[in-house]
Structure 1
Amino acid sequence: MPDPVSSPVGIGREFMEYTKYRYLGRSDQENGLPQPPLDLPAAPGIPIVALPKPAELSIPSVDLRMAIERRHSVRSYGKKPLSLEELSFLLWCTQGVRHVHGSVATFRTVPSAGARHAFETYLLINDVEDLAPGLYRYLALSHNLQRVSADPTLHIDIAHACLDQDFIMRCGVVFLWTAVPYRMTWRYGERGYRDLHLDAGHVCQNLYLAAEAVGCGVCAIAAFDDDAMASLLGIDGTSQFLIYLATAGKTGKEG
């Protein structure tokens, strides 16, 4: 196998070539290794923030065709905060757990290769009612939040790490999706990294469409300094890394 760094065809093309099935060996699942946990546990000793439960949400209906036709990236937001109910709805639509199959799999509101669901959702809260600004993690299995950081300058640092995209500081909330790759590669080997990027698209598109129901606009962001963002999120950048993020905020239109 050629050195991907020095290869004239480029790392991207080498990745696509050597994640073809003919190059893959037996996966850890096939070798009988235990599967990784379905999610990361809540940090001990830190309070849990209860979200309104999905079955109790009162969100206006929106026509699917209209939501698709109106979908576009929005980088300018109004001053009205999101409600906690609206945030709960957006989290449910993007990573909500509909059913837990023992310790084997979760079935969620978005598709994932093999129901592996390798993502963790972090939230940079700028302006959400009843939530102090800061960094939170979504505990998908219980549909709750846990605060990770109360750093008052974190929104500035994240905007800078995203190549100075300043609208990050002016939205209501930033969704940050990290991947825990072993949840995927345990079953699919190195090809699982392809699936992670496909899953990121599924999640973010749901955010775009769901936002139409709560008068929000969304802008997906793929330009960021990987190492800087890993440091800001408190992850190692290898066994867990940022794969995608998106801003969301009120636009002044409802439903």
Structure 2
Amino acid sequence: MPDADLSGWAVVLKQLPYLLAGTFPNGPLAGAALTLWMALLACTGATVLGIGVAVLLDLAPAPLARAVRALLACLRAIPVLMLVFWAYFLLPMLAGVHVGEVQTVVLALALIGAAYIAQVMAAGFDAIGRGQRNAALALGMTPLQALWQVVLPQTLRAMLPSLGNVWVSLAKDTSLAYIVGVVELSTVATQVNGRSVGYAAQVFAAVALLYFFICVGIESVAALLLAATRKQQRRSLWHGAALTACRLARTRAHPPPTSGSRGSSRSRPAPP
């Protein structure tokens, strides 16, 4: 039955497998599955790189930190579309290395996402304050150990909602991959709309719904991570409270001798 004889939503249902994964497994991965895959890779790369840059900013000497901050500001000022374009066309010309279309998009999104995540994490480090870090240093930790074991876990817990926002933004920015010919969800939607003239509203409404599910899934991952970190924090607090209670009970059951009692026992005369 030709598409012209079908209702708009019937066209969407007919083309839904193509919207979800393209011609996979008989062809390359495309559609919503490719969008989700690029989003996962970009979010992972941006998070790892962003945390690493934030740690570098915290530990580096002031001149190096200023240079890195200037570079991050330049990355945040560049439109994502231009960064994808430059990475695809200029990288082979300057470095002589050809990178695939999907890898180019993931690299560009990871770089720009890392610039935002580094800023978020640096603000989190400042919010924790110097007191806990100084206490860790007083206990014999190195600056890197204090940052990694004391400051970073608290910063991640506090900044997870902001990280989730960056991840959602990166997932939506995968739609810009069309400029280098990546057949992701929005490109597939344009192809379906070209084959099914007259049903653009239904086709793009379905695409918007797929993007909504992808973004909700990413936000759910961030919420689960936040819940897990808070549960771990509560478990640590209860464990610390239990240890403190046990020590208090042991102290009350076996109180240590006071200096007065020790002195009085020494001053008593010996029995005849």
Above 0.5 in TM-score?
no
Whose helix proportion is higher, 1 or 2? 2
TM category (shorter chain) comes to under 0.3
Whose strand proportion is higher, 1 or 2? 1
Q: TM-score, normalised by structure 1?
A: 0.24
Q: TM-score, normalised by structure 2?
A: 0.23
